[in-house]
């Protein structure tokens, strides 16, 4: 098995990896890192939880170290676009961890927080910027950031950019970038519109697919419970009270439904919290941090938490409402069974959602097993 040391990464990066007990790269890292280090454009397809972030952050830091150049005030050398604030912060944290033994600087540009700190950071010049499209365009419009010296662009979770309607914003950002640049696109799924975007933005890219583009982790046990809308709340409470769901992420479609379900869980004596788009960034960060450290066992979320968010030891994902887009199911359930663990994905399916369920089964290429009541919360089989 290949070790990170065999990939030719700079010594300060290898030291940081060793300090983080990361010795063996995942398949996507093994294949992608050398290609990115060569300066080639890349399309990387791999299911969630396989280490896509390190597969682009590490070689980008390596390339920046090799050039020895520093960003001028108001510029950045590399830019990563992410669809959500949480994912942007997670990528930036990874860059800071891997670059801790270097002088390279990374920062996030996201909404929901004041711009003052971001403006000051950009004024000093930043080696790696991780941004959501809206806030990035704000900085470009005000002139606090210029991209004429940016040599690397990364689109992470590119298919989710499409889901959130960011395609026009991505194209607008690209107009500010030099024509001669390296562009990397990473995703777990690859719908046709994203393939068209890749053709527009990338030049003769290398395509790496370490798993079928819409596959889910083999260690996930997919389970269906048929229940009408009025039954779902009582059923979920019953399952959570069963004592088998140690750390559970529950997905709903809307902010209103998240708040209503949270209130119902609280009334039932179940400790839980919620994150959605109406929460401030500080609130979302605090809730995720508390959930990660085990302060409460249940987190209710909209799809703001479906992409890229890493929650250790997440035992269960519950689709309280089944998503209309089958690829969203892939990303939701991918929050569990990460880093070699096993997990359970439970979908509560009403009669009106059966068509969506069939589309998910078609995407996965298999029928999902049907359970009765709290039996669905049992150990993986």
User: Do residue 224 and residue 205 come from a single domain?
Assistant: no
Give residue 213's pLDDT: 46
Least confident of 202-206, 309-313, 330-334, 352-356: 309-313
Domain that holds residue 298: 220-377
49-86 pLDDT, tens digit per residue, is 678 899 999 999 999 999 999 899 999 999 999 988 88
78-118 pLDDT, tens digit per residue, is 999 998 888 899 899 999 999 999 999 999 999 888 899 99
Domain end point (choices 209, 240, 262): 209
**Residue 8 covered by a domain:** yes
User: Do residue 191 and residue 238 come from a single domain?
Assistant: no
Question: 207 pLDDT exceeds 50?
Answer: yes
Percentage of residues in the chain with pLDDT exceeding 70?
A: 93
**Residue 215 covered by a domain:** no
CATH of the domain at 110: 3.40.50.300
User: Do residue 193 and residue 69 come from a single domain?
Assistant: yes
3-state secondary structure the chain: CCCHHHHCCCHHHHHHHHHCCCCCCCHHHHHHHHHHHCCCCEEEECCCCCCHHHHHHHHHHHHHHHHCCCCCCCEEEEEEECCCHHHHHHHHHHHHHHCCCCCCCEEEECCCCCCHHHHHHHHCCEEEEEECHHHHHHHHHHCCCECCCCCEEEEECHHHHHHCCCHHHHHHHHHCCCCCCEEEEEECCCCHHHHHHHHHHCCCCEEEECCCCCCCCCCEEEEEEECCHHHHHHHHHHHHHCCCCCCEEEECCCHHHHHHHHHHHHHCCCCEEEECCCCCHHHHHHHHHHHHCCCCCEEEECHHHCCCCCCCCCCEEEECCCCCCHHHHHHHHCCCCCCCCCEEEEEEECHHHHHHHHHHHHHHCCCCEECCHHHHHCCCC
Domain end point (choices 189, 209, 229): 209
**Residue 314 covered by a domain:** yes
**Residue 138 covered by a domain:** yes
**Residue 214 covered by a domain:** no
Least confident of 117-126, 241-250, 297-306, 362-371: 297-306
**Residue 205 covered by a domain:** yes
Question: 220 pLDDT exceeds 90?
Answer: no
User: Do residue 65 and residue 164 come from a single domain?
Assistant: yes
User: Do residue 122 and residue 196 come from a single domain?
Assistant: yes
User: Do residue 52 and residue 200 come from a single domain?
Assistant: yes
Question: 47 pLDDT exceeds 80?
Answer: no
Number of folded domains that form the chain: 2
User: Do residue 233 and residue 165 come from a single domain?
Assistant: no
Domain end point (choices 209, 231, 257): 209
């Amino acid at each position: 098995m290949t070790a990170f040391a065999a990939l030719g990464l700079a010594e300060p990066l290898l030291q940081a990896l060793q300090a983080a007990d990361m010795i063996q790269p995942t398949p996507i890292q093994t294949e992608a890192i050398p290609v990115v280090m060569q300066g080639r454009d890349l399309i990387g397809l791999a299911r969630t939880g396989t280490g896509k972030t390190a597969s682009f952050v590490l070689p980008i830091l390596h390339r920046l170290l090799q050039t020895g150049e520093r960003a001028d005030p108001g510029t950045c050398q590399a830019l990563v676009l992410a669809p959500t604030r949480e994912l942007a912060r997670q990528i930036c944290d990874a860059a800071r961890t891997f670059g801790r033994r270097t002088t390279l600087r990374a920062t996030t540009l996201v909404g929901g927080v004041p711009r003052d700190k971001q403006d000051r950071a950009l004024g000093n010049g930043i080696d790696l910027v991780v941004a959501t499209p809206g806030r990035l365009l704000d900085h470009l419009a005000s002139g606090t950031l210029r991209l004429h010296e940016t040599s690397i662009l990364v689109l992470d979770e590119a298919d989710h950019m499409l889901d959130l309607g960011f395609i026009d914003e991505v194209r607008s950002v690209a107009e500010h970038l030099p024509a001669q640049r390296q562009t990397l696109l990473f995703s777990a799924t690859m719908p046709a519109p994203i393939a068209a975007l890749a053709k527009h933005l990338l030049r003769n890219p290398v395509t790496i697919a370490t798993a079928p583009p819409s596959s889910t982790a083999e260690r996930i046990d997919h389970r269906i419970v048929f229940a009408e809308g009025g039954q779902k709340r009582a059923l979920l409470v019953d399952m959570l009270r069963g004592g088998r769901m140690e750390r559970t992420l529950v997905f709903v479609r809307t902010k209103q439904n998240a708040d209503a379900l949270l209130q119902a869980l609280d009334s039932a004596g179940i400790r839980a919290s919620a994150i959605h788009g109406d929460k401030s960034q500080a609130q979302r960060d605090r809730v995720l941090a508390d959930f990660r450290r085990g302060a409460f066992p249940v987190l209710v979320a909209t799809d703001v938490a479906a992409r890229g968010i890493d929650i250790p030891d997440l035992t269960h994902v519950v689709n309280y409402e089944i998503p209309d887009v089958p690829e969203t199911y892939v990303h939701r359930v991918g929050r569990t069974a990460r880093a070699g663990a096993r997990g359970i994905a439970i979908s509560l399916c009403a009669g009106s959602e059966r068509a969506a369920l069939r589309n998910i089964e078609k995407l996965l290429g298999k029928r999902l097993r049907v359970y009765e009541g709290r039996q669905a919360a049992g150990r993986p089989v």
